[in-house]
Structure 1
Amino acid sequence: MKRWLKYIKPYKKYFILGPICMIVEVIGEVILPKLLSVIINAGNAGTLTVGSSMGTMSLMILTAVMMMAGGVGGSYYGAKASVNFAADLREDAFAKVQNYSFANIDKYSTGSLVTRLTNDITQLQNFVNMMLRLALRAPGMLVAALIMAIIIKPTLSVVFLVTIPLMLLVLTSLIATGFMRFKNLQKKIDDLNSTVQENVTNIRVVKSFVREEHEKTKFEKANVELKNASLSAMKVMVAMQPIVTLIMNLTTLAVVWFGGRIVLKGGMEIGDLSAFITYVSQVLISLMMITMMSMFSSRAFASARRICEVLDEKVDLQDDNAAFPELEVKNGAIEFRNVSFRYDKKAQSNVLEHISFSIEPRTTVGIIGSTGCGKSTLVSLISRLYDADKGEVLVDGVNVKDYSLKNLRQGV
């Protein structure tokens, strides 16, 4: 949580005003059914007058306006807070990636980094927006509607003892299932982005070696896997709505059945029954909103972990211990002294092994070899895009590790 406070503090005004506006809307939603029940009860009893009805209607209109103001304000401040939160987070993540070495980039792949800086941060943005709008609104409406229902008719409120545990059991099962599926979905998005990025970047090579059909097959496989992962995740979301609607309808049916019998016996006003049914719907809708938050939070938490991995990644090339941080490259003499290098540090064989040579300033040297023999890797060691595992790489007689990265790369 401490990490995210950095992105919340500059916009704390929006993070405070948004939930407050939503609380105002909740108050209106709880008051409105009660005011309506007053009119219905008075009309049923024959005591409704023009003056009393106009007074109650005025309160209902005022309540509706208050609800509208709260809803609009909550949406506005929620959007402002979430968009700024995501923009600052994306800027920090991008700045971190700029400091990555090639080894760090290889660890994640370019496609994965693109997904993390775009799709994953967008997921967090949507989650923050949703939380600001629903985090207080849903629990607030749940508690307030439940209290109002109990005040109206405690005996009829027993229906909640069956409905709420049943709803929680079903929704908890859906959340547990959805979490793993959304996590898998993000991985498949990574894979597809990596496939597209590799193909577009190396399109000349693909065409030169007539590998179009191979690339099409590769893309089709990644695309089908993403489609299946998306459908698998969406099935959970699709199943939620009808299940919740069924439980709400069964609960309403039970309330109408038992409440109607109470009304016929004179133990309850018909207006109170109408308000009670509305509060039942609000309680169940609140539970559904809480579930939706939990469902989206499972995907957002998966995205948050992936973003934290990027931010927490230790950059393996640093110049903090450079012996000559102010030194600049003057002539450009290059020397390799018994250099060995491997990409995977656990691998048994080296990509480059016992390489020694020197290049004088203002001379041209051609490096010739088959594809994948290490030509680009050799050149990358000069500017410290990678660090040699053994031996030394020197520029102007100074080990490249003793330069600052900025001065070395500017000179090279």
Structure 2
Amino acid sequence: MIKLSKFLKPFRAMVFLVLVLVLVQSLSDLYLPTLMSDIVDKGVVNGDTNYIWRIGGFMLLVAAGGMVCSIFASYLSARIAAGFGRNLRSKLFSHVSNFSLQEFDQLGTASLITRTTNDITQVQQVLVMMLRMMASAPMMCIGGIIMAYSKDAKLTLVLAVAIPILVLAIVIIAKSGIPLFKAMQIKLDTINRVLRENLTGIRVIRSFNRVEHEKKRFNEANFDLMSTAIKVNKIMASMMPIMMVVLNLTTVAIVWFGGIRISNGHMQVGDMMAFIQYAMQIMFSFIMLSMMFVMIPRASVSAVRINEVLNTVTNIKDPNSSLGAEGTKGTVEFRNVTFSYPGAEMPAISDISFSMKPGEVTAIIGGTGSGKSTLVNLIPRFYDVQKGEILLDGVNVREMTQKHLREKIGFVPQTAVLFTGTMAENIRYGKEDASDEEVQHAAEIAQASQFIANMPEGYQSVIAQGGTNISGGQKQRLSIARALVRNPEIYVFDDSFSALDFKTDAKLRAALKKETVDATVLIVAQRVSTIIDADQIIVLDEGRITGIGKHRELMESSAVYREIVMSQLSEEEIA
């Protein structure tokens, strides 16, 4: 929580004003019992009606002043907490946006969503209470003790017994609750993960009749969270009865011993009434603190989780100065590149060396798990290599800023990802200032213009969340158009033609060949027909290169390639 206090700096003036308002309100509340004591001892006992009206009217003014301060303090506290939450969410989102894929794998998408939403909300709610109660409670407690002591020093011994009991109860209950609050947030992550998988995979779930299984899986996660929540709430709920028992017993003790002191002439009735009020204020200040201790453990867990994200340093960093900023053409070279995923026993790719030149098409083919996608993810630095280096026009990509590097690449991922918005907006995602003509040209090359024209509103037709209102092949063609519209120096197609029929695939590759004549093109494919005409084919097997060359060369030299070809093409096609 303390580490997050830096996000309160923009609101320092407002925080100070809240503390002043809370101080004035507390002084108002502390002054009222003394005024009531004067009314009883000087007005009621002496039958002085004018005194009663005068002091009573003054009490109303003091109470009204305290109420106004309370309203403004609550308003400002809410404003501060809302601004704090907004700034913290923005910082967290910006920080996460700079993560490499390794950090996403480490923290998990579901957990990052929970931390950005629920965890920040927990901290935000506690901040409102801290500004109001955390400031007010100590003032009321200390001020109440001073005022009670001023009324009767010996009677404060009752409070000396009651207060340690309250403090001990709060400490024990809070200590029991903190581990459970931490468990609750982790179990909330689990629910988010299960729910996210359920919503994104609904087609698979239904097609395999696994709806009941998924319901059971969600119910188990939900019940697990509920059990922990009930357990922690039982512990926290025990705090209020303990408080009320101590409060009522303290009141009885004050009346009992106060009555004895009144009868012995050591105390006046009005003073005892004021003492009871101060005792109530002291006890209620501890009740306010106890409410804080109900929320602070959970908020502290949330704060730790937020700080864990903010303290996570991405492995991929920009250099202090970027090289190769001007005059690049698009030559890419891998030199003895080896890469392993965190925690993996074996490298995903090992000792990879090859080069790609502008005007040429390089293709990568291999079996499942051979390292094709891993290799292409290293070019835009989604991950950094452990050994070797990747060069762009002779400059190590680590010596270039990520922004500069990625501006040169048109990347089409294996899984087509579209965003909620129009067709045109999704294509313009590759180039924000692209003209309508550029958007339409990219769509034509990607063989997407025909199906877009058939949509009700053409390029202004809205794509549903996740692109659920268009087919897989249409998604891929829009993803390709998104890469084409930016006219980059390097094109990377990571198995981006798999959902296309053979006719569309052939037409698209023919159009691409004309469009990318001066660019470096890298195609990862499963289908031999997609890459058969490539200038250079790289055959991967178990993370290693087993062959480089053109189709006919590899048919003679690479057993792995020959096996892939023979499994897909007939003898006539091979001939």
Question: TM-score normalized by structure 1?
Answer: 0.90
2:43–2:52: 8 Å Cα contact kept in structure 1? Answer: no
CA distance in 1, matches of 2:243, 2:61: 32
Matches within 5 A, 1:238-387: 238-320=237-319, 324=323, 326-327=325-326, 330-331=329-330, 334-344=332-342, 346-356=343-353, 361=359, 363=361, 365=363, 367=365, 369-370=367-368, 374-387=371-384
2:319–2:399: 8 Å Cα contact kept in structure 1? Answer: no
CA RMSD after TM alignment: 2.6
Q: Go from structure 1 to structure 2 and tell me whether the alpha carbon gap of 1:278 and 1:197 turns closer, same or farther (over 3 Å shift).
A: same
Mapped pair 1:54 → 2:53: yes
Percent identity over the alignment is 39
**Other-structure match for 2:133:** 134
**Other-structure match for 2:560:** none
**Other-structure match for 1:187:** 186
Q: Go from structure 1 to structure 2 and tell me whether the alpha carbon gap of 1:49 and 1:113 turns closer, same or farther (over 3 Å shift).
A: same
After TM superposition, the structure 1 stretch with the greater mean CA deviation from structure 2, 230-239 or 14-23, is 230-239
Secondary structure, aligned partner of 2:323? coil
AA partner of residue 103 (structure 1):
Q
CA distance in 1, matches of 2:61, 2:322: 73
Secondary structure, aligned partner of 2:406? helix
**Other-structure match for 2:568:** none
| TM-fit CA distance, 1:124 | 1.9
Alignment deviations for residues 350-390 of structure 1 (CA, whole Å, 9 cap, x no partner): 233344555554637464643x6544333322211112223
Secondary structure, aligned partner of 2:337? strand
**Other-structure match for 2:32:** 32
Mapped pair 1:41 → 2:38: no
Mapped pair 1:92 → 2:91: yes
After TM superposition, the structure 1 stretch with the greater mean CA deviation from structure 2, 163-172 or 383-392, is 383-392
Mapped pair 1:21 → 2:31: no
Secondary structure, aligned partner of 2:361? coil
**Other-structure match for 1:405:** 402
Secondary structure, aligned partner of 1:353? strand
Mapped pair 1:196 → 2:192: no
| TM-fit CA distance, 1:198 | 3.3
Question: TM-score normalized by structure 2?
Answer: 0.66
Q: Go from structure 1 to structure 2 and tell me whether the alpha carbon gap of 1:297 and 1:2 turns closer, same or farther (over 3 Å shift).
A: closer
**Other-structure match for 1:81:** 80
**Other-structure match for 2:416:** none
Higher relative contact order (CA 8 A, sep 6+): 1
Mapped pair 1:64 → 2:63: yes
AA partner of residue 127 (structure 1):
V
Which structure 1 residue ranges, 5 or more long, are not aligned?
none
Alignment deviations for residues 265-306 of structure 1 (CA, whole Å, 9 cap, x no partner): 443322222211111111111112223323422222222222
Q: How many residues align?
A: 408
- Which structure has more strand as a fraction of its residues? 2
Secondary structure, aligned partner of 1:388? coil
After TM superposition, the structure 1 stretch with the greater mean CA deviation from structure 2, 377-386 or 95-104, is 377-386
Matches within 5 A, 1:119-268: 119-207=118-206, 210-268=209-267
Alignment deviations for residues 305-340 of structure 1 (CA, whole Å, 9 cap, x no partner): 222221121110112167625157644x55544433
CA distance in 2, matches of 1:338, 1:70: 70
2:323–2:395: 8 Å Cα contact kept in structure 1? Answer: no
- Which structure has more helix as a fraction of its residues? 1
1:327–1:403: 8 Å Cα contact kept in structure 2? Answer: no
AA partner of residue 282 (structure 1):
Q
**Other-structure match for 1:12:** 12
CA distance in 2, matches of 1:411, 1:68: 62
| TM-fit CA distance, 1:206 | 4.2
Secondary structure, aligned partner of 2:325? coil
1:328–1:411: 8 Å Cα contact kept in structure 2? Answer: no
CA distance in 2, matches of 1:323, 1:408: 10
AA partner of residue 16 (structure 2):
I
CA distance in 2, matches of 1:44, 1:244: 33
CA distance in 1, matches of 2:279, 2:150: 13
CA distance in 1, matches of 2:370, 2:14: 56
CA distance in 1, matches of 2:332, 2:324: 19
Which structure has the larger Rg?
2
CA distance in 2, matches of 1:161, 1:354: 75
| TM-fit CA distance, 1:104 | 0.9
AA partner of residue 37 (structure 2):
S
| TM-fit CA distance, 1:130 | 1.6
Secondary structure, aligned partner of 1:339? strand
After TM superposition, the structure 1 stretch with the greater mean CA deviation from structure 2, 387-396 or 120-129, is 387-396
CA distance in 2, matches of 1:329, 1:127: 53
After TM superposition, the structure 1 stretch with the greater mean CA deviation from structure 2, 51-60 or 394-403, is 394-403
| TM-fit CA distance, 1:85 | 1.8
**Other-structure match for 2:442:** none
2:126–2:295: 8 Å Cα contact kept in structure 1? Answer: yes
CA distance in 2, matches of 1:381, 1:113: 24
CA distance in 2, matches of 1:214, 1:358: 49
| TM-fit CA distance, 1:103 | 0.3
After TM superposition, the structure 1 stretch with the greater mean CA deviation from structure 2, 316-325 or 282-291, is 316-325
AA partner of residue 385 (structure 1):
F
